[in-house]
Amino acid sequence: MSENSARLDRLLHPEVLAAFDRDVYERDGYWVWDGILTDEGRARWSESLQRVQSLNDAIVANSDWGRVQFAAHGLAAPDADKIAPEALAGYRGGSEQMRFQPPGLRDFMYQHGLFDPALVTDGCEWQGMMPEYFPLAYDEFILDVTANHPQMMDLLGKVLGPEFLIDHVLTLNRPGGSTGRRWHGHPYRQGQHETEDPATGGQSPSTQFLQHQCVRTLCYPEGMGKTDGGGELAVVPGAHLYRTPYMWDKRRTDYDEDFAAGWMRDKDHPATAEPLQIETLDLSPGSMVSFVHHMPHHVGHRDEGAPTRWGLLMAYRTRDPEQAPSKWNEGTPAHWADRTDAHGLMTQQMRRIFEGDQPLTSA
């Protein structure tokens, strides 16, 4: 895309952006950008999320998954009953619904791209991945706000510093009845820098805001809270200073009571010395929230019959100086980036987001 073809200049309220307090963010591990989207920004963001969801739904329901050559890619074929037409119809309408996919398919799409004539894209240009997993490849507005827009780059720079790379961008559209996610955290990269056990760790807190950071920013153009159907996001201020990516590689079983009686028990906020407390967020329309990736967090059950809550997850991380030089970082689908670059559509700002931790230099 050209750098400004999808640009909405009045995307964010500058006064909300300017109100960011770095000390509070480092102390508590999260920051709410309350009502930061302009009315135009809210409308465009919602429209793009709904469009991407419709594309994803069409590919899910209209593709002949039984004809896809999974074995040729070293993947198991999905169970026949999971790809029957009536089953496929049930995977539509929201994110994290595609239970028919065999193990490893999402990673294969991301790393190599799945290009198969059995996939029906209903007129969109197939990018080798489901739109849910990399929506910026299918929507120019989402591409702009996640990789180009100066206000968004300013926002991300406030929580990450001047040098940051994409980790992943996903839609998180939660329909009524969504079961959400129980208490968990996420490691920086593949966890090679983590030192605490993911289930019982967190015994060595520090008030130092560590350099290896990944930050998740969630955008809710229509808001997020109990009054719009439940399924709120909950965090634990100060828990990020324990540096525990809780249950990141284990089965997640904890609701609030279990988590409070288990991992949280007898733990204090390292900076304030107050007992750790669960904070359930209630965000007004047009809000975003940024929080440290490895802080334990939870998304509750959404009420049956509630309308779909539209959301976009944007995760970025600091560079890893121990990573070998590479053209693109591991959060960037190289097959998509190479095509985008070959067509002259990779802006300089995009290149900074997608390049390797240590970019390859020409000889």
Nearest-angstrom CA–CA distance, 26 and 3: 33
Cβ atoms of 353 and 315 closer than 8 Å: no
Which whole number is the average pLDDT over 42-70? 96
- pLDDT tens-place string over residues 111-161: 999 999 889 877 789 999 999 999 999 999 999 999 999 999 999 999 999
pLDDT winner (highest mean) among 47-51, 196-200, 225-229:
47-51
What is the CATH number for 256?
2.60.120
Q: Which H or E run contains 184?
A: strand 181-184
Q: What is the pTM of this model?
A: 0.94
Find the domain containing 167 and state its range: 14-38+131-354
Asked whether the predicted pLDDT for residue 165 surpasses 90, the reply is yes
Is there a domain that residue 21 lies in? yes
- The mean pLDDT of the chain is 92
Cβ atoms of 329 and 188 closer than 8 Å: no
- Write down the pLDDT at residue 321: 87
- pLDDT tens-place string over residues 333-361: 999 999 999 999 999 999 999 999 999 87
- Write down the pLDDT at residue 109: 96
Sheet holding 164-171, edge to edge: 30-33, 287-292, 214-220, 312-318, 164-171
- Write down the pLDDT at residue 180: 83
Report residue 315's pLDDT band, with 50, 70 and 90 as the boundaries. very high
- Write down the pLDDT at residue 209: 66
H helices within 63-167, ranges in order? 85-89, 105-111, 140-147, 150-160
Is there a domain that residue 81 lies in? no
Bridging pattern class, strands 279-280 and 181-184: unpaired
- Write down the pLDDT at residue 4: 52
- pLDDT tens-place string over residues 77-100: 999 999 999 999 999 999 999 999
What radius of gyration do the chain's Cα atoms show? 20
Residue with the bigger pLDDT between 313 and 245: it is 313
Q: How far apart are the first and last CA of the chain?
A: 29
- Write down the pLDDT at residue 289: 98
Is there a domain that residue 174 lies in? yes
- Write down the pLDDT at residue 5: 64
- Write down the pLDDT at residue 187: 85
Is there a domain that residue 106 lies in? no
Report residue 52's pLDDT band, with 50, 70 and 90 as the boundaries. very high
Is there a domain that residue 143 lies in? yes
230 Cβ contact partners less than 8 Å away, ≥ 6 residues apart: 300, 301, 302, 303, 306
Closest CA to 134 of 300, 359, 328: 328
Which two three-digit tokens encode residue 352? 């900074």
Sheet holding 297-299, edge to edge: 181-184, 297-299, 233-235, 279-280
Report residue 291's pLDDT band, with 50, 70 and 90 as the boundaries. very high
- Write down the pLDDT at residue 3: 45
Cβ atoms of 131 and 109 closer than 8 Å: no
Is there a domain that residue 88 lies in? no
- Write down the pLDDT at residue 191: 72
Asked whether the predicted pLDDT for residue 203 surpasses 90, the reply is no
Which whole number is the average pLDDT over 247-267? 87
Is there a domain that residue 318 lies in? yes
In terms of Cβ atoms closer than 10 Å to its own Cβ (0-12, 13-18, 19+), residue 119 is middle
- pLDDT tens-place string over residues 300-311: 889 999 999 999
- Write down the pLDDT at residue 198: 73
Number of domains forming the structure of the chain: 1
Asked whether the predicted pLDDT for residue 260 surpasses 80, the reply is yes
Is there a domain that residue 125 lies in? no
